[in-house]
Every structure is written in structure tokens, then in C-alpha cells.
């Protein structure tokens, strides 16, 4: 990752805010398109940002998402204020979900978000402290 930053944005994501859920990831998609990044990269980044954003809405008390565009990579990261993940390996398993009935009625809770984020990333890391919060970082290489 080069030090130079081409673009940088921060988004606050509120718990249970279904009305605007998806707007931060839509903005990220728009910015990456405007910067002229290749369509396949924009598609992957949009999936990552959308899944991260929805997870903040339905699984956390709230948090923040960050976009950082460098000449050779795009980094999307989140940090939240809890509740944290007790078993990260289990959370990363396809089909595993703790989404509640409200989230499921809205079509969320397939348990594919984190696995898809990892699949779409060139570099992926997740750190969580149960009771405190979760930090996730996804990097996509440019070119």
C-alpha cells in the first residue's frame, strides 16, 4: 500500500437505521466510478461496502465505515462499538447468522456477508473482542 491518498471518506452508521442502510455503500460505489477505477473492482468494492454497512446496521450498536483510495489499492474498513463477535471462525462460516426476525423480514440474514467480503478482498482481516467491538479491514489491489 502506498502512502499517497487519492480519496478518503468516513461514514457513521446507525443501529437499525434501515431507511438509509445502503447509502454509504452507494456513495462509495459512486466515488470509485468517478475516479475511473475498473468496473470489476468497483463491483467487488460495492459488495464489500454493502455487506459491511448492513452488518453495522443489523448486528451492532453502531459504528463507522471508512474508504481510503490509494494509487495501488482501495481500503474499506469498519469499526463498531459492540457487541463484538464471540467466535469469529463461526461468524465467517457460510450460512451462519444471528440476524433477528426484523432483519430477516427485510431479507437480511443469509449468513453470506462475511464470506463474500473475504472472497471479494485481496487482503482481509477481522479482529473482534466480545463485549467491546469489531474491526474489519478489506483491501483490493488496483491493476
Ligand X SMILES: Nc1ncnc2c1ncn2[C@@H]1O[C@H](COP(=O)(O)OP(=O)(O)O)[C@@H](O)[C@H]1O
Distance between CA atoms of residues 49 and 119, nearest Å:
13
Helix H or strand E segment including 24: helix 23-34
Q: Residue from 7, 62, 66, 111 that binds ligand X (CB under 6 A)? A: 111
Identify the helix (H) or strand (E) that includes residue 69: strand 62-70
Q: Is 65 in the site for ligand X (CB under 6 A)?
A: no
Does 18 interact with ligand X (rule: CB under 6 A)? no
Which residue number, 60 or 138, has a Cβ lying nearer to ligand X? 60
Q: How far is the CB of 108 from Mg ion (least distance, A)?
A: 6
Angle at Cα 36 formed by Cα 4 and Cα 45, nearest 5°? 75
Instruction: Indicate which single residue of 55, 78, 128, 134 sits in contact with Mg ion (rule: CB under 5 A).
Output: 55
What pairs with residue 76 in β-bridges? 67, 138
Please, which of residues 71-90 interact with ligand X by CB under 6 A? 80, 85
- Residues in touch with Mg ion (CB under 5 A): 55, 113
Amino acid at each position: 500500500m502506498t502512502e499517497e491518498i487519492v480519496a478518503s471518506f468516513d461514514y457513521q452508521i446507525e443501529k437499525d437505521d434501515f431507511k438509509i442502510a445502503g447509502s454509504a455503500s452507494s456513495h462509495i460505489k459512486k466515488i470509485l466510478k468517478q475516479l475511473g477505477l475498473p468496473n470489476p473492482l468497483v463491483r467487488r468494492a460495492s459488495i464489500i461496502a454493502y455487506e459491511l454497512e448492513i452488518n453495522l446496521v443489523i448486528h451492532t450498536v453502531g459504528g463507522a465505515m471508512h474508504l481510503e483510495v490509494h494509487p495501488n489499492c482501495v481500503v474499506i474498513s469498519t469499526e463498531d462499538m459492540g457487541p463484538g463477535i464471540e467466535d469469529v471462525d463461526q461468524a465467517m462460516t457460510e450460512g451462519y447468522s444471528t440476524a433477528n426476525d426484523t432483519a430477516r423480514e427485510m431479507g437480511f440474514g443469509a449468513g453470506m456477508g462475511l464470506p463474500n467480503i473475504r472472497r471479494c478482498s485481496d487482503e482481509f482481516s477481522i479482529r473482534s473482542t466480545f463485549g467491546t467491538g469489531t474491526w474489519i479491514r478489506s483491501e483490493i489491489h488496483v491493476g
